[in-house]
Amino acid sequence: MNRSEALKLVKDNIDEENLFKHCLAVEAVMGRLAEHFEADKEKWCLAGLLHDIDYEETKDNPEKHSLVGAEILARKGLEEDIVRAVKVHNHEHGLERKNLLEKALYAVDPLTGLIVASALVHPEKELDAVDTEFVLNRFGETSFARGADRDVIASCEDMGLELEEFIGLALEGMKSISEELEL
């Protein structure tokens, strides 16, 4: 599946604009991480773009989220490693994340939300004005963006990345599509 086909699949399954933008943000960060790790950028971007393909269908049943998505992607013929990365990104299932792609998608998912929330409280309310230190400070505020699970974000260490470096790479990825994110 190429990006155009994946984008159509996302648009066919996701109506909520902020969720769509979230998928774009995760795709951009996954692409930046793929560059950093010299991994297959196209594959990593597809995993990021498609990771919440089932969210609107399963939002009231978090125990089904990502399992349904993995089934959809498997039926569409996506590569098994993308399907598995999507499946294991939801911590509800307690599935082990075995490789770099899986670990990255897991950690990136909540980080994009923390970065968006950080941009929205920044005086300039623009992603380009946000730096790593600003996000790190918000990371330390446990009452800020409570949905952004700090333990999951901190699992970046499982990829050999320090938190500061991980946030910096994520910011680079998201800033590269700030117009699409309207942020």
List pLDDT tens digits, range 83-123: 999 999 998 888 999 999 999 999 999 999 999 999 999 99
What pLDDT is attached to residue 179?
96
Answer yes or no: are the C-beta atoms of 136 and 179 closer than 8 Å: no
Task: Of 176, 89, 103, 175, give the one whose Cα is nearest residue 134.
Answer: 175
User: Domain 3-178, what architecture?
Assistant: Orthogonal Bundle (1.10)
pTM confidence score: 0.97
Q: Is residue 116 classed exposed, middle or buried when 0-12, 13-18 and 19+ CB atoms within 10 A define those classes?
A: buried
Give the pLDDT confidence of 123-157 residue by residue, as tens digits.
Answer: 999 999 999 999 999 999 989 999 999 999 999 99
Q: Compute CA distances 176 → 67, 74, 163, whole Å.
A: 30, 30, 20
CB 150 within 8 A of CB 122: no
Nearest residue to 30 via CA among 82, 67, 77: 82
